[in-house]
């Protein structure tokens, strides 16, 4: 359970860093988090739950006018986190 707590904390930090400026460094950190999650054997469902939890926290403090931008940023960040899962699945299935 500790590793999920650590991943949630690290995910939150990286996502909050990405939101204001959409910097490549924060996306890279998201990719690294996804890669670590795969290496540690965490399921994609656990990662989706973490993303949802952090995203909901952010939405609670987001003004209505900023919701579309925040939702787009959340999608961009989550896709970067999931990139390693996608590569692993394609490798396993032998697809491109």
pLDDT of the residue at 85:
84
pLDDT tens, 5-15? 999 999 999 99
pLDDT of the residue at 49:
96
Query: pLDDT category, 95, cuts 50, 70, 90?
Result: low
- Tokens at 77, concatenated: 């960040």
Average confidence (pLDDT) over 29-52: 92
Mean of all residue pLDDT scores within the chain: 91
Q: Which residue has the higher pLDDT, 75 or 86?
A: 75
Domain count, the chain: 1
| DSSP per-residue codes, the chain | -HHHHHHHHHHHHHHHHHHHH--HHHHHHHHHHHHHHHHTT--HHHHHHHHHHHHHHHHHTS-GGGHHHHHHHHHHHHHHHHHHHHHHHHHHHT--
Domain region containing 84: 2-93
> What does the chain come to in residues?
96
């Amino acid at each position: 359970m500790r590793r999920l707590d650590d991943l949630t904390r690290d995910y939150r930090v990286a996502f909050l860093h990405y939101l204001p400026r959409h910097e490549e460094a924060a996306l890279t950190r998201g990719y690294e988090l996804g890669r670590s999650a795969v290496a540690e054997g965490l399921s994609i469902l656990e990662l989706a739950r973490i993303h949802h939890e952090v995203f909901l926290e952010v939405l609670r403090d987001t003004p209505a006018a900023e919701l579309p931008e925040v939702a787009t940023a959340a999608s961009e960040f989550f896709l970067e986190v999931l990139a390693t899962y996608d590569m692993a699945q394609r490798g396993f299935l032998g697809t491109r």
